[in-house]
Chains A and B, each alone.
Chain A
Amino acid sequence: MADITQLLQSLITGVGVGLIYGLVGIGFCVIYNASGIVNFAQGVFVMLGGMICHALLTRLGLPLVLAAVLAVPIVAGIGMLIETLVVRPMWNRGATMFAIILATLATQIMIERITILTLGDQPRSFPEFTPGGPLKLGDIAVGYQLFWILGCGALMVGLLWLFFTRTRTGRALRACSQNREAAALLGIPVGRMLLVSFALSAALGAVAGILVTPTQVTAFNIGTPFGVNGFIAAIIGGFGSAAGALAGGVLLGVLQAAAIVLFGAGFKNVAALSTLLVVLLLFPSGIFAGFKGFKRA
């Protein structure tokens, strides 16, 4: 029987994982807002962030900080490559939305296979950013990595907010999300915004992947669960707002952690996917979207 300490312990873990889901969810929203495209390969960026950081650490012997800082632009570059080689040509030819989704799904499998061939199929991990720990609060242990996730998560959201409100590119992206044609008429290069959104979204995913790897492992196939959970986070948040996606991610992470304590870990993914279906069917415009509409009215 699960006692209260165990439950609290898992809830804290859930918050950490949930923030990661939130970051992935924001990645979905960034691309969706700029283009109306849902990138099914979103989870791949999480996987690549962890795997490339690990490769830089072990193969080149770089210090962790440098490896982490280098991995993010590399993954952002891969995101731009996907946009240029796969999404842009289809976008320009007016491909249907389902065809674009399918192409991103195929891209995910392609990247997973290439990762197996180049970086191996074994699960990998690297040490926590700060050695030592965990911090003891009574009977509850809090790993130091959680603070890194909290801190970096907050930093990312803050930076995103500055980017979207204070820079020309960020404002242009927001203009695209409101009305692409009007934005184009105002001289905003809508096509280039798609590229920017893929780079940004890939970087977000990479940060999430680097942050989460010390708390679990990374492997070529972790992309799909993170992608699906990030998508759920984005949906709960109403598919558009960064704060909503983050809140949705935390909610999802905590729910999953509770589910694991109550029902065991085996059907963790089944529980998450069922949550997705329930949320989709009952709240097709997001749980938090309801509150937003209420405030406006």
Chain B
Amino acid sequence: MTSPAITSTRASWRDHAGSWLPVLATLALLGVGLSSSGYIVTVLGFAAIYGVFSTGLNFFMGYTGQASFGQNAFAALGGYGSAILTAGHGMEPVLALLIATTVSVAIAFAVGYPTLRLRGHYLAMATFALGLITYEITIEWTSLTQGYMGYSGIPPIGLFGYELVTEKQMLVVLVAFALLGVWISNRLRRSRFGRALAAIAGSEPAAAALGVNVAGYKLVAFVIAAAYGSVAGSLFAHFVGFISPEVFGTSMVVLSFTMLYLGGIGTTWGPLVGAVIVSLLPEALRGLKELQDVAYCVILVAILIFAPRGLAGFAPAIKQFFNRGAAAKAE
């Protein structure tokens, strides 16, 4: 079989379809959200927040091929940081978000430096422990976090005294954050930095032999993931107005992994696509009610077994379909 020679300029938009189609789809979803009822707006807001979180996780797990089962720790840091600074101390939400993210980045550096020397199941367990430690602290340090009761009265996000009061206004900001996150992810992936990460994912000794500072790049990928996680946590706190330890518990780990694996781990858009689909799932699973968490786990395990590359695994088939259409047109 021969592939059609592409010489005309018209073919180039098809080549770039992969990069602008998802943007259009996201904006279309935003449009749907803005023209529908409150519930859909909430669901799409969560999708955008989890999209940010999963896109960050993808840096470390997808691009670099490592594993962190404790990224919820940084979402908790971001969420509680924003909550305490704004609701507790009356700080500007944007300033609080920046401070919380800075703190998370600093902690990620300090914690990641020794932890990332570990490999395999030791790395998995150590990162898992980070998440559990944070969870325990949010419960036990009641004077700071209000423990099980959770932190309420968190103001919506805003700037210079202007607050985004309606959920739809917030949705626009959340979608902007998600798109910005994916854009950064896309740019970095195609950079020298992204290629270094890919080299590490392929083979650490080979990457080291090529002069890649393996430990350094791993740490930076981990810190980027932590920054994304922290921002997602802050956005969650402002969007819902209430956080509790359970929000950032172990089920958040499983949920975000489901999104990552469903959309396609290691792809640019996969995490966001997965986040949107998984967030819409409760609608489909509404009849199951209490079995919802069980259903999530079953879906995740099924994906891991039968389609470890997620929806992205179907991309070649779709591309072929498009190409065949183009070839038919050319004839």
Contact = CB atoms under 8 A, between A and B. Distances in A.
Interface in B116-168: 117-118, 120-122, 124-126, 128-130, 132-133, 136-137, 140
Of A96, A102, A114, which is in contact with the most chain B CB atoms at under 10 Å from its CB? Answer: A102
Interface string A269-297: 11001101100110010000000000000
B140 A273 contact: no
B291 A273 contact: no
Interface string B50-76: 000000000001000001010000000
Interface residues of B, number: 39
A284 B121 contact: no
A98 B67 contact: yes
A105 B121 CA distance: 13
B282 interface: no
B136 A273 contact: yes
Contact of A103 (B67, B118, B300): B300
Interface stretch (A7-15, A85-93, A165-173): A85-93
A273 B127 CA distance: 11
A276 B304 contact: no
Interface stretch (B90-98, B225-233, B249-257): B249-257
Interface residues of A, number: 38
A117 B291 contact: yes
Contacts of A156: none
A198 to B, nearest CB: 16
Interface in A102-141: 102-103, 105-107, 109-110, 113-114, 116-117
B65 to A, nearest CB: 9
Contacts of B253: 105
Q: Looking at A89, A110, A274, which has the most chain B CB atoms within 10 Å of its CB?
A: A110
Given A102-B257, A280-B125, A109 B297 contact: yes
A231 interface: yes
A61 B117 CA distance: 52
A109 B250 contact: yes
Nearest to B121: A38
A235 B126 CA distance: 12
A259 to B, nearest CB: 14
Nearest to A99: B304
A222 to B, nearest CB: 14
A26 B114 CA distance: 27
B305 A274 contact: no
Contacts of A270: 133, 136-137, 140
A177 to B, nearest CB: 15
A269 B141 CA distance: 13
Interface centre among A106, A224, A274, A280 (most CB of B within 10 A): A106
A281 B305 contact: no
Contacts of B300: 102-103, 106
A113 B129 contact: no
A83 to B, nearest CB: 13
Given A98-B67, A109-B250, A109-B251, A281 B140 contact: no
Contacts of B291: 113, 117
B117 A107 contact: no
Contacts of A266: 140
B304 A90 contact: yes
Contact of B136 (A90, A98, A101, A269): A269
B308 interface: yes
Interface string A128-165: 00000000000000000000000000000000000000
A93 B117 CA distance: 28
Contacts of B250: 105, 109, 224
B113 to A, nearest CB: 10
A224 B301 CA distance: 19
A277 B126 contact: yes
Contact of A101 (B121, B140, B294, B301): B121
Interface string A61-80: 00000000000000000000
A277 B136 contact: no
Contacts of A98: 61, 67, 124
B124 A101 contact: yes
A81 to B, nearest CB: 13
B251 A274 contact: no
A266 B125 CA distance: 22
A260 B124 CA distance: 27
B215 interface: no
B294 A276 contact: no
Most chain B CB within a 10 A radius of its CB, from A107, A113, A267, A281: A113
Contacts of B188: none
Nearest to B265: A99
Given A98-B67, A107-B297, A277-B115, A117 B290 contact: yes
B136 A113 contact: no
A228 interface: yes
A281 B115 contact: yes
A234 B126 CA distance: 14
A6 to B, nearest CB: 22
A262 interface: no
19 contacts: A40-B128, A86-B301, A90-B305, A95-B308, A98-B67, A102-B69, A102-B257, A105-B128, A105-B254, A106-B257, A106-B300, A106-B301, A107-B297, A231-B125, A235-B122, A269-B132, A270-B137, A277-B130, A280-B125
8 interchain residue pairs of minimum CB distance: A110-B297, A38-B121, A98-B67, A106-B297, A273-B129, A89-B305, A113-B293, A273-B133
Interface of A: 38, 40, 86, 89-90, 93, 95-99, 101-103, 105-107, 109-110, 113-114, 116-117, 224, 228, 231, 235, 266-267, 269-270, 273-274, 276-277, 280-281, 284
Given A99-B261, A281-B114, A281-B117, 14 more contacts: A38-B125, A40-B124, A40-B128, A86-B305, A101-B121, A103-B300, A103-B301, A105-B250, A105-B253, A110-B294, A117-B290, A270-B140, A273-B132, A280-B126
